[in-house]
């Protein structure tokens, strides 16, 4: 079922599937909720799965930016209110992980479990923040999403990924627009570290990492899992930044184990 949620000057497009305890799947940049199709198919057999396109991404409308992680977390709270769920488990990929962490800071009482997929706890380095700002400038100057796709998509998959999978990721990314992409980049550049709240998050936390992920290298993923009192690391050995697409069955198994914890 599709649900449209009006929040301030944006409209969130949310897919609501299945019944039972709720799980919210949050996609990364520069992607859409379609990266989670295999997981939604599996999880919706036993749970209620809530799949939003984040503000300015995919089917959701864009508004003026920057999109701060706290504002995006507020969007997710509004989406949950719209579907009638107070508490849920959250799975956040990359950008979606930053949003999930901001949500946990703001609404910890609404968090049943937390899973981070390729998402770093720390804030951007000055160099990384400058890269995002300059990329946002190029997107606005050209009025095109292509600079973002060119900058991110080649790094997302493991070297052994098939041409078909690379084409699929590019197709998903193409469903984003320049206004939302630029605003999201600026919001990510401005985000604060979540390292200070990790030890206070007492719910089961899964850190799901790709062994070939340049954005969250294996040593950093291992340290991240140890930062949470109930943290657990699962590494997908053949994956880069997108284990839900590169190794969907292993991703599904990791999420099933996390939900049973």
Q: Give the H/E segment covering residue 140.
A: helix 126-142
Q: What is the pLDDT of residue 45?
A: 95
pLDDT at 50 over 90: yes
When pLDDT is cut at 50, 70 and 90, the band that residue 138 belongs to is very high
Q: What is the pLDDT of residue 204?
A: 97
Q: Give the H/E segment covering residue 17.
A: strand 10-17
Q: What is the pLDDT of residue 8?
A: 85
What integer is the mean pLDDT of 218-235? Answer: 97
> Which residues, including other chains, have CB under 8 Å from residue 41's CB and lie 6 or more apart?
none
CATH number of the domain residue 10 falls in? 3.40.50.1820
Q: How many domains does the chain divide into? A: 1
Q: What is the pLDDT of residue 64?
A: 87
What is d(CA 180, CA 134) in angstroms, rounded to the nearest whole number? 15
What is d(CA 77, CA 86) in angstroms, rounded to the nearest whole number? 9
What is d(CA 152, CA 136) in angstroms, rounded to the nearest whole number? 13
Q: What is the pLDDT of residue 86?
A: 81
What integer is the mean pLDDT of 201-209? Answer: 97
Q: What is the pLDDT of residue 258?
A: 96
> Which residues, including other chains, have CB under 8 Å from residue 116's CB and lie 6 or more apart?
92, 97, 100, 101, 205, 206, 207, 208, 224
Q: Taking a C-beta distance cutoff of 8 angstroms, is the pair 40, 22 a contact?
A: no
The residue segments making up the domain with residue 195 are 2-259
Q: What is the pLDDT of residue 85?
A: 80
Q: What is the pLDDT of residues 2-40, one digit of tens each?
A: 888 898 889 999 999 999 999 999 999 999 999 999 999
CA-CA-CA-CA torsion sign (152, 128, 60, 1): positive
Give the percent of the chain with pLDDT over 90: 93
Q: What is the pLDDT of residue 83?
A: 87
What integer is the mean pLDDT of 127-156? Answer: 97
Q: Taking a C-beta distance cutoff of 8 angstroms, is the pair 165, 193 a contact?
A: no
pLDDT at 166 over 80: yes
Q: What is the pLDDT of residue 116?
A: 98
Which whole-number Å values give the CA distances from 2 to 52, 66, 78, 102, 187, in the listed order?
Answer: 10, 26, 15, 25, 27
Q: At 37, is the secondary structure helix, strand, or coil?
A: helix
Q: What is the pLDDT of residue 84?
A: 87
Q: What is the pLDDT of residue 1?
A: 85
CB-based burial, 137-160: b 16+ in 10 Å, e otherwise = ebbeeeeebebbbebbbeebbbee
Is the peptide bond prior to 63 cis by the omega test (within 30 degrees of 0)? no
Q: What is the pLDDT of residues 191-202, one digit of tens each?
A: 999 999 999 999
- pLDDT, the chain, mean: 96
What integer is the mean pLDDT of 214-234? Answer: 97
Q: What is the pLDDT of residue 58?
A: 97
What is d(CA 166, CA 209) in angstroms, rounded to the nearest whole number? 19
What's the DSSP call for residue 160? Answer: T
pTM (predicted TM-score): 0.97
Q: What are phi and psi of 30, to 5 degrees?
A: -105, 70
Nearest alpha-carbon partner for 91 in 58, 114, 111: 114
Nearest alpha-carbon partner for 235 in 258, 212, 257: 212
What integer is the mean pLDDT of 237-241? Answer: 98
What's the DSSP call for residue 205? Answer: E
Q: What is the pLDDT of residue 193?
A: 97
């Amino acid at each position: 079922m599709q649900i449209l949620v009006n929040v301030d000057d944006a409209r969130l497009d949310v897919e609501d599937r299945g019944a039972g305890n709720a799980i919210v799947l949050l996609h990364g940049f520069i992607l859409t909720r379609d990266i989670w199709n295999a997981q939604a198919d599996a999880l919706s057999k036993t749970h209620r799965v809530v799949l939003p396109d984040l503000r300015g991404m995919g089917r959701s409308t864009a508004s003026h930016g920057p999109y701060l992680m706290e504002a995006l977390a507020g969007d997710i709270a509004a989406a949950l209110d719209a579907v009638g769920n107070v508490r849920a488990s959250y799975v956040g990929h990359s950008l979606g992980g930053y949003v999930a962490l901001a949500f946990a800071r703001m609404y910890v009482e609404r968090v049943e479990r937390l899973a981070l997929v390729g998402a770093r706890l720390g804030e951007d380095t000055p160099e990384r923040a400058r890269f995002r700002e300059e990329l946002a400038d190029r997107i606005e100057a050209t009025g095109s999403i292509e600079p973002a796709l060119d900058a991110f998509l080649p790094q997302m998959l493991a070297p052994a990924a098939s041409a078909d999978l690379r084409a699929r990721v590019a197709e998903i990314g193409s469903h984003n627009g320049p206004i939302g992409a630029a605003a999201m980049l600026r919001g990510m550049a401005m985000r604060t570290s979540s390292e200070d709240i990790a030890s206070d998050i007492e719910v089961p936390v899964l850190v799901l990492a790709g062994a070939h992920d340049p954005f969250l290298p294996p040593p950093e993923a291992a340290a991240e899992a140890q930062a949470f009192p109930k943290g657990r690391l699962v590494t997908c050995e053949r994956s880069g930044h997108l284990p839900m697409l590169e190794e969907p069955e292993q991703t599904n198994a990791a999420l099933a184990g996390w939900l049973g914890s």
